[in-house]
Every structure is written in structure tokens, then in C-alpha cells.
């Protein structure tokens, strides 16, 4: 005996957001596939049919359907902890940001090299921190 098809329930806001993601040309492929999974499941399409239509695995369809059912749109985001970890601790980054506002004694402002030497990190790291925080000492 076949199991009944479970249908995901969408609020008006969730439906509008999913449609926006599916229509947008700037949506990443990963986000588009997740939105399409949820959209098709909300239309009553079986998980196996969704998997074959989108060319993905059945466990992927199950995972994103389950995460949406549990957490809504927030469940479609990547969980923290993915990707490469920062090479510098947040405390060191904060120290660079605060120190840049205090110019060194003999000079008017910091250079990348002088800040790197004072903080004990590489010039590239100092440059990256300045860029990410839009600092121009």
C-alpha cells in the first residue's frame, strides 16, 4: 500500500518569496534548486518525481523538504560551520580594527607593513581586514 503524499504548506509570504527566487536571474543554482524542491512539494509532487525532474538525489529532496517543514524559509539557508574557517581569530581582527584608529607615534597613519609588524600578522591579512571593513587609514 502506497504512502499518502505529504504536501508542504506555504504561507502567502513564503509562496511569494519562493516565486521570487525561482524567477530571479541572480539566484544561485543551489538556492534555486532548494526553492524548486519546496515549490514542487507544496504543489503535491512526490519526492521521487521531484528528484527525477531536477536530476538530484532522493535524500536531497527529503532533506530540504524536512528542513523547510521544520524551519520555514530559514531552513533553506546553509547551516553555519560550512566552508573554510577563518585563519585569524575574531579577537585579532577586532584588535586590528581598533588599532587602526590610533596612529603610530612617529607617523600620521598606519601602513599595511607597519600594522602587520605591530600586530604580528601578515601584511596580506591586514590588507584583507582593512578591505572587508572598508578602512582606509
Per residue in 126-136, pLDDT (tens digit) is 999 999 989 88
Q: What is the pLDDT of residue 130?
A: 93
- Residue 136 contacts by C-beta under 8 Å, 6 or more apart in sequence? 130
Give domain status of residue 6, yes or no: no
Q: Does residue 3 surpass a pLDDT of 60?
A: no
pLDDT by residue (tens digit) across 30-81?
999 999 999 999 999 999 999 999 999 999 999 999 999 999 999 999 887 7
C-alpha cell at 3: 504512502
Q: What is the pLDDT of residue 83?
A: 79
| Residue 4 binned pLDDT confidence (cut-offs 50, 70, 90) | low
Contact predicate 100/110, CB 8 Å: yes
Q: What is the pLDDT of residue 32?
A: 94
Q: What is the pLDDT of residue 60?
A: 95
Is residue 49 located within the same domain as residue 102?
A: no
Q: Does residue 124 surpass a pLDDT of 80?
A: yes
Q: Does residue 1 surpass a pLDDT of 70?
A: no
Range of the domain at 94: 90-132
C-alpha cell at 12: 502567502
Is residue 32 located within the same domain as residue 68?
A: yes
Is residue 102 located within the same domain as residue 50?
A: no
Which position has the higher pLDDT, 80 or 11?
A: 11
Which position has the higher pLDDT, 6 or 123?
A: 123
Angle at 10 between CA 64 and CA 37, to 5 degrees: 30
Residues comprising the chain, all counted: 137
Q: How much is the mean pLDDT over the chain? A: 89
Is residue 72 located within the same domain as residue 94?
A: no
Give domain status of residue 3, yes or no: no
Amino acid at each position: 500500500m502506497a504512502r499518502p503524499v505529504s504536501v508542504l504548506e506555504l504561507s502567502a509570504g513564503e509562496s511569494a518569496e519562493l516565486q521570487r527566487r525561482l524567477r530571479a536571474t541572480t539566484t544561485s543554482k543551489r538556492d534555486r534548486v532548494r526553492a524548486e524542491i519546496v515549490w514542487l512539494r507544496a504543489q503535491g509532487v512526490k519526492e521521487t518525481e521531484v528528484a527525477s525532474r531536477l536530476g538530484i538525489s532522493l535524500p536531497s529532496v527529503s532533506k530540504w523538504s524536512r528542513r523547510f517543514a521544520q524551519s520555514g524559509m530559514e531552513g533553506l539557508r546553509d547551516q553555519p560551520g560550512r566552508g573554510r574557517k577563518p585563519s585569524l581569530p575574531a579577537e585579532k581582527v577586532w584588535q586590528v580594527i581598533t588599532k587602526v584608529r590610533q596612529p603610530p607615534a612617529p607617523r600620521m597613519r598606519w601602513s599595511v607593513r607597519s600594522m602587520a609588524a605591530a600586530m604580528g600578522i601578515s601584511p596580506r591579512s591586514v590588507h584583507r581586514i582593512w578591505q572587508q571593513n572598508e578602512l582606509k587609514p
